[in-house]
Amino acid sequence: MTTRRDVAVVLSGGGMNGVLMEHGFMLRLRESSLWPRIGWIFGTSAGALVGSMAALDRLDELEEFLLGLQPDDTFRPNRLWQLPFLGLNQYALPKTIAERFGDLTAMARELAACECEVVVIATDASPGLAGPDARDYELVYSSRRTDPETMAQAILASAAISALVLPMRVGDRIATDGAWVRNFPLAHAYARPGVRRIVAFRYIPQYPTIGTAALVRLRERLSRFSRVPPIRAFIAELREAEARDARGEPGHLAEMILRLTRAAIVRNTVLEERLAEEKDQSIHELAQLQADLRDLVSRNVRSRRDRARLLAELEERFGRANFPFRGDPAHHGSWVHRGREPRCGPPRPARVDGGGQARPDPPRLRARRRRAARSGRRPLRIGRGSGLGPSRRAPPRPRRPGRHSPRRAPCSPVVSGRRSARAAGRARTA
């Protein structure tokens, strides 16, 4: 029997620490019953690397690779005179992976043949054209729809930390670390038809601060030359930078760029989680609304034919509804995000006890009926003559319940017994 692949895995970015933690996460997931059901892996930066190796089922090889990895094997520092032109480091990871895993294009061909689809996110760093810029700067590459050579380049570009290395060419685009635009690609998993469960891992880093400690040491070394006018002016600038840092302001340009980098990445990650929670809540409320409408029809429509027709129309209308938060209309409300699964699916069964007798209505429904009885409103009726369908004759108007005779559910045998006793008492009195 073929296992249905309806689980999506979402992996965030996170640098080297993120690679290590996501590798352990995927190892644990491989031991669970969800592993053979995984049909999609969505990853950014570190998640793109780990997700690709997990789809190929080469996590053991990745562990050996990570344990033997040295700093120069990933980001090799450039010489001082190269910094203004090539950035802080040389991106040595592509060459290291090719030496230890083989040709990257061949690995991308294996990904294209896998039953699990891999989707990686990169940031578009291509030069803009003259005029208004309306791009969203997000590049999405799928192992099913991207040629192997471009896919191999996209995985490496997604993991190219732009603060350390220059962007890379991916096909006809220039791409860099995908964390700038979508560090946690939950939205792509929600929008993919066929996904019924989402298992996500987000790495929450502790960003370093540069501060002014190096500037303090530099000022102390230059203090012996404070009589030289240019050096005296430079020392004054260093003191102002230290004062800004003491007030919580950026002491220098590098600190400001680091703060903006943190804000951009953390902000788009938080927005991604917030949108996912709103989608979960919307799906839950939609499923609850559908169940409540079924319950109202079942309770208030007396005719079996009208009841069946209205229930069929409700199912058909909800099936045609195309809400943007539903994803696949055939599987709405069946998502799981961080262990929370909304109640949805078939109509709720009738509330009965062990003897087959109907149980009392919930307190909220009883309170609603008492409020309707006190206000004198007509109870809801759905059927012929209710204005919701074709009508031949209007139904008899129900008696307005009095203050001392609240309306009760006709399905309860205890209520029926009380009414019979009350009627018998009135007959004896007469």
Identify the three-state secondary structure at position 277: helix
In terms of pLDDT, which residue wins out, 352 or 22?
A: 22
Over residues 218-232, the pLDDT tens digits come to 889 998 888 888 999
In terms of pLDDT, which residue wins out, 122 or 213?
A: 122
**Phi, psi of 103, deg, nearest 5:** -65, 130
In terms of pLDDT, which residue wins out, 130 or 62?
A: 62
Residue 351 pLDDT = 38
Q: Which residue has the tokens 């996904």?
A: 195
Over residues 383-406, the pLDDT tens digits come to 333 333 444 444 555 555 554 444
User: pTM of the prediction?
Assistant: 0.69
Torsion on CA atoms 65, 67, 73, 75, rounded to nearest 10? 110
Residue pair 234/222 in contact (Cβ under 8 Å)? The answer is yes
In terms of pLDDT, which residue wins out, 2 or 169?
A: 169
Residue pair 187/126 in contact (Cβ under 8 Å)? The answer is no
Residue 84 pLDDT = 65
Most confident region among 65-74, 79-88, 221-230 by mean pLDDT: 221-230
pLDDT at 316 over 80: yes
Give the residue-averaged pLDDT of 355-370. 56
pLDDT at 409 over 50: no
pLDDT at 176 over 50: yes
Residue 4 pLDDT = 87
Residue 318 pLDDT = 86
What is the rounded distance in angstroms from the CA atom of residue 22 to the CA atom of residue 311? Answer: 46
Give the residue-averaged pLDDT of 275-297. 88
List the beta bridge partners of residue 394. Answer: none
What is the rounded distance in angstroms from the CA atom of residue 389 to the CA atom of residue 311? Answer: 13
List the beta bridge partners of residue 142. Answer: 119
Residue 413 pLDDT = 40
List the beta bridge partners of residue 174. Answer: 169
Angle in degrees, CA 126, 178, 328, rounded to 5? 110
pLDDT at 253 over 80: yes
273: CB partners within 8 A, 6+ apart: 184, 186, 202
Tell me the pLDDT of the chain averaged across its residues. 78
Nearest one of 319, 324, 39 to 198, comparing CA atoms: 39
Q: Which two tokens stand for residue 11?
A: 């992996």
Angle in degrees, CA 194, 183, 158, rounded to 5? 95
User: In percent, how much of the chain has pLDDT > 90?
Assistant: 36
Q: Which residue has the tokens 């996110």?
A: 121
